[in-house]
Structure 1
Amino acid sequence: MTEALAPFDRHRGLLFSVAYQMLGSVADAEDVVQDTWLRWSAVDRGEVADARAYLVRIATHLALDRLGSARARRESYVGPWLPEPLLTGTDPVTTAPAPADPVAAAEVGEQVSLALLVVLETLSPAERALFVLREVFGLPTAEVATTLGRSESAVRQMAHRAREHVQARRPRFDTDRRAQFEVTERFFAACAGGDVGELLAVLAPDVVLVSDGGGKVTAALRPITGADKVARFALGVAAQGLELADVRIGVAEVNGGPGIVAWAGGDPLLAMSLVVADGRIEQVLLVRNPDKLAGLRGTS
């Protein structure tokens, strides 16, 4: 068993990341990792030439199996559906590092941003798997073709289509992380202080806010567009949060980018991911569904 555990543990973070970026769900990704272990532990490893490739292949197939049923469930979802957020930096209150578990081991940076995961939802399951394996993790075409059971020429053609599809839909963003977080700090301070003027200064005129409550908590059932409307909504959310006892709110790294997280007592309250371009906020993705906040629990 120890012999089997060593290569699995070495690639556990990669397996979680592949599954998470294909499914947009922390719980489903963790289930995929567990099921991958069960299959790996039963394999004759003497016949496995490349443990990493073999494990990725198992995880990809398991994620593809889940993707169809997950999309079917989303058809009856209340309001907009957003992926589950991951806290990838430090606890904004204690500054403790994110926990060393599969969640925290997810690849960070723009490639795991909530905004990108939303775009990946518009791909077919096979295209999404290919994009994650080829474009995000840089796996060789031959390895991706073997994993998906397709020819290399078919994979190249599908990769081209998926790349163009994503590039046409992914939002612009500032590459300067310091600038991103400075704008986020201004947004957070304006919300906490009820400063409408400052909020309007950091919001792009055509900013879009999408909130996911899943029918469990209050959230807008449609995207909110325009700086005035988004500012009023954000101030309302901030006011509700500040009224709660033992609330903790702060700027944090969410999915590798700027965000705001909050806890009430020991329970995660919300996660907000921001897309900053040209020094202003272009997109706000707000997750309030309590069933989707497992990626914050390690820091409470």
Structure 2
Amino acid sequence: MSHFLSRRAALGRLGATAFAVATPPLLAQGPWPQKPIRIVVPFAAGVSPDVVTRIISEPLGRALGQPIVIDNRAGAAGIIGAEVAAKSPADGYTLFMTVNSIMGINPNVYVKLPYDTFRDFAPVTQVALVPYVLITGPNQPDKSLKDLLARAMTKPGSVDYGSLGVGSGPHVVMEMMCNMAGIRMVHVPYKGSPLADVMAGQMPLAFEPATTAVPLIKSGKLRALAVTSKQRSPSLPDVPAVAELLPGYDGDGWQGFYVPVGTPPDIIARFNAEIVKVLRVPEVQRKLVELGLQPVGNSVEEFAKLSRQEFDKWGKIAKANNIRIDS
């Protein structure tokens, strides 16, 4: 019996020694971050979310004391990049720069997706609002949104509009406007942007992000009929908001940061604090405003609430207009 007890004591001491040896490396990992941080961007270099990420990444890297690596994963309406981000380790070394269409529209439109907005991601902060501008060619008949709505009301189905494709942001914001106005227009989905055809007069209308629309409007190549923001845009003060004719309309897109779900809350809080600080820097704000964006930078809780509201809003629009993609 005494031999058994001494053996058990020896094994206990061995276990304690092994634990003591194993513990120091865990404790010695030190404060986060200790290596470069990757930002997954589900668009090609040069597209608005990528440009915004590059504006933010340099000061963010300085604040965190680590380099920021931008990982562009473009394609499939943002689905490729979203899947990459969703399957990344939740260790605080992956940020996902995304947009409302990927988080709020795709899940309500695509029958099958390799990611889930709420199961796979945790919100960090909304970076900016991205107003859309309702554009038409300079030789088109409509001089105002009021003219357009009146024409579409008089002849239902006689007005065509182009978009980036079925379920895209420009598609659903146009359908929301039509629903609220009680009109019906004909959707012409493009595989790319309809912008060139609108400028050429071959497509009457489209909603285009302010980033690309504003310079073309100011140069006279396009006419602006309205903006999707709740109020008029500082970039286009003479162009009315859709909400001026259709109270309650709010069709702005947005950009924001998420992390893989399971990322430690203290890391999410640090990301939020540092990104919001960067978004308050006057030079950063100036650059975003020049791109036609409206800087935001809200709390984790506010962004979480917005994410759910946007998801529900676009879900209703998709259902009301039978917008579904089976592939």
Pairwise TM-score range, normalised by the shorter structure? under 0.3
TM-score normalised according to structure 2 size: 0.21
Structure holding more helix per residue? 1
TM-score normalised according to structure 1 size: 0.22
Q: Which has the larger radius of gyration?
A: 2
